[in-house]
Amino acid sequence: AQRVTQPEKLLSVFKGAPVELKCNYSYSGSPELFWYVQYSRQRLQLLLRHISRESIKGFTADLNKGETSFHLKKPFAQEEDSAMYYCALSTQGAQKLVFGQGTRLTINP
């Protein structure tokens, strides 16, 4: 069975500090990994996906198949990064996402 684990429910850092949101997954095949973000009073939206290998809003995430991890990183946090972040997994091209429990990130001024 596929499973996504986000070990931190809450994460608080100061503005300008580095941020790392952890995500680990379990799946025996080759998954597609995503980070979704939900800002206050907004819809859930895609932040980035591992396959595109791009940086969005300064965030990057590298898929580490050996450690089955897909941690989200940003070198310098900004106040507007405060939001709920969900790591998600999809398998075999299916339009089905398995989500982690989410991490609420708070950036303190």
Partner 1 sequence: KAGVTQTPRYLIKTRGQQVTLSCSPISGHRSVSWYQQTPGQGLQFLFEYFSETQRNKGNFPGRFSGRQFSNSRSEMNVSTLELGDSALYLCASSLVQGKYNEQFFGPGTRLTVL
Residues that bind partner 1 (CB under 8 A): 32, 43-46, 49, 51, 86, 90, 93-102
Residue 74 or 100 having the CB closest to partner 1: 100
Residues 6+ apart with CB under 8 A from 83: 37, 38, 39, 40, 104, 105
The nearest distance, CB 90 to partner 1, in angstroms, is 6
Residue 17 or 51 having the CB closest to partner 1: 51
First CA to last CA distance, the chain: 41
Query: If 0-12 CB within 10 Å is exposed, 13-18 middle and 19+ buried, where does residue 1 land?
Result: exposed
The nearest distance, CB 16 to partner 1, in angstroms, is 30
CB 25 within 8 A of CB 2: yes
Residue 43 or 109 having the CB closest to partner 1: 43
The nearest distance, CB 14 to partner 1, in angstroms, is 28
